Chains A and B, each alone.
Chain A
Amino acid sequence: MASGGGYIGRGAGLARRDWPGLAWLYLSNLVLAALASTALSAEFGSVLNTSLEAQRLAHGFDLAVFLDLLLRPEVTPRLLAPASLSFAIAFGLVTLFLTPGIVQGFLSEEHPRRGAFFQACGHWFWRFFWFAVLTLPVFGIVLGVLSLARDALLSWAEKSPEPRLYFYVGLGTLLVMWVAAVVLRLWFDLTQFALVHSGKFWRSIATGFRLLRRGCFRLFWIYFSISLVGWLGLAAGLWLWVKLPPERVGLAFLLGQAILILWLGTRYWQRAAEALWFREHAPALEPAVAAPPAPVAAAAASPEAPLPV
């Protein structure tokens, strides 16, 4: 069996091999966000573009000037929140659409061609959609219960005269919630692999759970190690951003996008490394991965697929 480090390294190689999937994700992330933020840019521009006061934002970041800006009637960031939320949902749907193609690519020995990639995306979309619909309540329930426990612990900590206790309890309980969320995520990732692998919707959930029990610690370590790269990259990127000359907007944009690509990339890398582990531990890998995606009608006809596809 390969070590965690082996999966991580080979996972990086697999993610690099299938980089177009990442590129599609990033491009959709950028384009949708640009659409969501254009209105605010126009609002800011109407106030700032011909004002000398704007220099205090261009050559630094003067919080007082920024707050003055937000107090102006032309600037309505609150009204832009729905656009941001819509964008986040749209990006979630795009991710949902692209994920089956990405998963199928990771499970195959060869880099998928673009046609096969999008064919897989379309073929599995509805099953992935319904699976996502099923997972969201599970996330909601588990994290909701943990959140209630966290609130109870925090209100206990709040009564303590030691102010640091509240912080550490808050941090510790967040960490617990994060671990729980990651474990759930790993289960659902494995289920997605099993779904593409076998085409059996309900059986995949059980398969994913069995595989998670078998390799939980190894998989968690893989996930955590790669996450660490993302977090360290984010910290280093933000540190660099602060050090940049404030008026170098283009450079700041590139740095910001590099951070976002790194974040998206680490998630991509995590899936690739998990897929490698899955390939080595899945009960029977050959039929679904080697062959092109099963026709929709065939999948629908399967007794294991009562859900709409």
Chain B
Amino acid sequence: MSRCDTMPRVPRARSLLLAAAAVFLALGAARAQTWEQAVNPAAVYSADGKPLSPRVVHYTIEAKYNEKAHTLDATETLVYRNLTGQPLDTFPFHMYLNGFQPESTWAQEGHRDFPTLEWSEKNRGAVNIQQMTVEGMGDLTGQLQFIHPDDDNAGDRSVVEVKLPKPVPPGASVTFHIKFYDVFPEVVARTGYMHDFIMGAQWFPKVGVWWHGGWNCHQFHLNTEFFADFGVYDVKLTLPRRYVTGASGIEVGSQDNPDGTRTVTWHGEDIHDFAWTASPRFVVAEGTFPGSAGPVKMRALVLRPHAAQAQRYLTALRQAMYYFDHWFGPYPYKQITLVDPDPDSRAGGMEYPTLFTADTNWWMPRGLLAPEVVVVHEYGHQYWYGMVATNEFEEAWLDEGINQYSETSIMDELYGPDRSLLDLWGATAGDTELFAHTFYVRSPDTDPITRKAYEFMNNGAYGNVTYGKTASVLHTLDGMVGKETMRRALHTYFLRYRFTHPTGEDFLKTVEEVSGRKDLRPFFDQAVYGTQVLDYEVLSVTSEPVNWWKPERDSGAVFRSQVLVHRRGDFIFPVTVEVRFDDGQVVRENWDGKDRWVRYTYDKKAKVVSAEVDPDHLIYLDRDLFNNSRTAKPDTTAARKLHNYWLFFNQWMAQIVSWLI
């Protein structure tokens, strides 16, 4: 008798169940094993196998999201390596979510700049540290103290400091264990929930940066973004199983839990922040970009109502990746995640390491390139914010401004400078024209672009100067040193300073070095460090017979043409003036712009037709482009055209009103 014969028989259905259970257990074990093995797969391409960044911090976070209360319970372990060269006994932490409280500096500044906006309890956010222990030093929760390094606002709780009982020696590490609790707002400043969409950004206690001999850990301000040290992130997020998730880094594990939740594990390297997102309405679209560092997985999380635009997103992303790779340098991460947020959330257009939010709407026409602009812009942040990682509190222009220049350059290259934002129903607009020059024109002289982000006159000036003026300055530099040279300068700047937190001077010196131009300082002093306004105008163009006093005019009369050019602004800049005559002659003059005006006089048989300052349209910093030229004879076409629109609008509206009678 064989052993098999002696075994009791089991019903067929039961045997199938047992078999299924065995397979499930085996798969579970395999998954667990895979997860264990995959705890630390490389999330980046490194030619020599070494870390790309100093990796000052290593965060390990386990968090569980409560979808009904929009809260999150988490534990955080932070290993901080003291590479400062000196002992450290105090550590400040950013508590960004506490900015979304009416007493905070963020909210106070918001009320200052937007007094009509009302506070709503739905906008309240919070991060509370329930316990902080430090290995070898015990429970230091009682030592935590909110500090206000930028102002005297005692109600602000966006920075907390802990003093250790003994200092951490140079070269040593210290491990913090933090238990914290988040309350997410209905999306504020691109953070929080909207419907069933959640954007988990700036959501955990994050240590400040030891920079230039001290802690750099500013309060959360209305105009400030972020600054942090590079490191490694291992994050486990638990959410209801129906949610599709995305996050910084790469996914290294996923486990379904018996309570209907799923725990997804993410691993990121050489990044300085970690953001995540989730929604049950996300549809995943993927592609691969053959980057120069290695293939990059493009993962787009697109809301179901926008699913038809997934390919549009991926195409824009591929184009952005191509240009950044070719112009500035390689993208070394293995994945980039594009998030299409809930359109009511206003969470679109924000950058996080290896993840960004785009923006679209279900009705978005092809001729309006807003989604493309957002994708190119936010992907660009992966370079200037993500890798170069300048201090956005103090020198926001180095990220937002350079990135605005990058975005507008790429969009203009892709779609043409006149229609790189809009080409719809006969109307056109260029990205550079609208999102650089027109921004700048709105605040040409309020603040230097190097001003700390939280010290700008107001939110409008911050945006117009940091984005618009910086991009206009760099496009003007294009004209001064050549586009190719500027690209090489940015390429050098990126490769030299990635993962190092450089300063504005590092950038400007790189431009000087690569261009070989030592004469750029006066320009930098006025355009970058100053608030001088650049505005040249052609005051008059006239042509009169040389013998103007003679009553008779013969056919061969010689005319004296005069062109008067005026420097209206206080920004001194050499310009070219082009004078056109009615016999087709074109004369170009170069003026150093040092005096307030210059007069050009010509005795010719031809009369002057027009004169134009900057005929090649290279000076984007010129505040007023209308007065750059003057024609001898008026052409009323444009004014009549606009008058026609206005007339039509008035007549039509009046007809609508008279319908009531």
Tell me the A residues contacting B by CB distance below 8 Å: 29-30, 32-34, 36-37, 40-41, 44-45, 47-55, 57-58, 60-69, 71-72, 84, 87-89, 91-92, 95-96, 99, 132, 135-136, 139, 158-164, 167, 185, 241-242, 246-247, 249, 252-253, 256, 259-260, 263-264, 267
Contacts and interface: CB of A to CB of B under 8 A. Distances in A.
A139 B84 CA distance: 73
A33 B654 contact: yes
Given A57-B638, A64-B438, A260 B651 contact: yes
A50 to B, nearest CB: 5
Nearest to A35: B650
Nearest to B432: A64
Contacts of A241: 426
Contacts of B343: 163
A57 B639 CA distance: 9
Q: Main SS of chain A's interface residues?
A: helix
Given A252-B644, A260-B652, A242 B661 contact: no
Given A71-B442, A92-B661, A185-B659, A51 B647 contact: no
B653 to A, nearest CB: 6
Contacts of B641: 57-58, 246-247, 249, 252
6 smallest CB-CB distances across A and B, nearest first, come from: A64-B433, A161-B195, A41-B643, A52-B629, A49-B634, A54-B638
Interface stretch (B311-319, B521-529, B558-566, B620-628): B620-628
Nearest to B617: A53
Q: Which of A36, A48, A89, A135 has the most CB of B within 10 A?
A: A48
Contacts of B281: 161
B318 to A, nearest CB: 26
A58 B638 contact: yes
Contact of A45 (B362, B624, B639, B660): B639
B179 interface: no
Q: Which of B418, B630, B640 has the most CB of A within 10 A?
A: B640
Contacts of A164: 305, 362
B430 interface: yes
B433 A51 contact: no
Given A52-B629, A62-B418, A63-B429, A163 B361 contact: yes
Nearest to B615: A52
B426 A61 contact: yes
A37 B426 contact: no
Given A71-B442, A72-B624, A64 B344 contact: no
Contacts, number: 189
B648 A260 contact: yes
Given A37-B646, A252-B644, A99 B661 contact: yes
Given A53-B625, A185-B659, A241-B426, 16 more contacts: A37-B646, A37-B647, A40-B646, A48-B638, A49-B639, A53-B629, A57-B638, A60-B426, A64-B433, A71-B442, A88-B657, A92-B661, A159-B195, A167-B362, A249-B640, A249-B644
Given A50-B631, A55-B638, A99-B661, A63 B626 contact: no
Q: Which of B427, B640, B651 has the most CB of A within 10 A?
A: B651
B584 to A, nearest CB: 16
A63 B305 CA distance: 30
Nearest to B648: A256
B6 interface: no
A95 B639 contact: no
A296 B652 CA distance: 35
A132 B659 CA distance: 11
Contacts of A158: 344
B363 interface: yes
B110 to A, nearest CB: 22
Nearest to B637: A58
Contacts of A87: 650, 654
Contacts of A88: 650, 653-654, 657-658
Contacts of A256: 644, 647-648
A249 B637 contact: yes
Which range contains the number of B residues in contact with the other chain? 35 or more
A234 to B, nearest CB: 9
A249 B639 CA distance: 10
Q: Which of B610, B646, B650 has the most CB of A within 10 A?
A: B650
Contacts of B658: 88, 91-92, 95
Contacts of A64: 429-430, 433-434, 437-438
Contacts of A136: 660
30 contacts: A29-B654, A30-B651, A33-B650, A37-B643, A40-B646, A44-B639, A48-B636, A48-B638, A50-B634, A52-B610, A52-B631, A53-B626, A54-B638, A57-B641, A58-B638, A61-B428, A84-B650, A87-B650, A87-B654, A88-B650, A91-B654, A92-B654, A161-B196, A161-B281, A163-B342, A164-B362, A185-B659, A247-B637, A253-B644, A260-B652
Contacts of B628: 51-53
A132 B661 contact: yes
Q: Which of A33, A47, A256 has the most CB of B within 10 A?
A: A33
B474 interface: no
Given A58-B641, A139-B660, A84 B653 contact: yes
Contacts of A96: 661
B644 A29 contact: no
B184 to A, nearest CB: 16
A69 B643 CA distance: 13
Nearest to B660: A139
Nearest to A241: B426
A116 to B, nearest CB: 22
A269 B413 CA distance: 53
Contact of A51 (B437, B627, B652, B655): B627
A159 B660 CA distance: 34
A102 to B, nearest CB: 12
B549 interface: no
A78 to B, nearest CB: 13
B592 interface: no
A69 B638 CA distance: 12
Contact of A242 (B363, B426, B430, B652): B426
A68 B363 CA distance: 28
Contacts of A99: 661
B634 A68 contact: no
B67 to A, nearest CB: 13
Q: Which of B344, B422, B610, B642 has the most CB of A within 10 A?
A: B642
Contacts of A89: 657
B360 to A, nearest CB: 10
A29 B418 contact: no
A54 B648 contact: no
